[in-house]
Amino acid sequence: MVKITFIQPDGSQVSVDAKVGGTVMEAAVNNMVKGIDADCGGACACATCHVYISDEWKSKLQAPETMESDMLEYAHEPDESSRLSCQVRVTNEMEGLVVRVPSQQS
Ligand code: FES
């Protein structure tokens, strides 16, 4: 398990235990983190698991595949730090990861 902190748009934070090998989306949903809808259940087909992950963590994450990048176009206000949390697999190197939840999902 590694700790992941989710920051809501109002600044409130919640830290959860995430299973290594699972996804950031699963960690959010399993811990009832607000704002991660994950309507498609992780199939990279809805963009409602959109989150922002800062540059400092990028080197510890696998790069997005084309399918994720394409689907991010449907996310609400995507930017350079946008990821679909169902496509970000949790690794031991991600201990302490900080993830921002968008103000709304698409
Ligand atoms: Fe649907 Fe991530 S849960 S794209």
Q: What is the pLDDT of residues 61-90, one digit of tens each?
A: 999 999 999 999 999 999 999 999 999 999
Which residue type is seen at 76?
H
- Which residue of 40, 66, 68, 105 sits with most ligand 1 atoms within 8 Å of its CB, as the best mutation to test the pocket? 40
How far is C-alpha 60 from the chain's CA centre?
14
- Which residue of 23, 49, 53 sits with most ligand 1 atoms within 8 Å of its CB, as the best mutation to test the pocket? 49
Q: What's the pLDDT at 58?
A: 84
DSSP label at 23?
B
Q: What's the pLDDT at 35?
A: 97
Does the 2-100 domain belong in CATH 3.40.50.10300? no
10 Å Cβ neighbour count for 13?
Answer: 12
pTM above 0.75, yes or no: yes
**Computed from CA positions of residues 31, 37, 52, 56, in that sequence, does the dihedral angle turn out positive or negative?**
positive
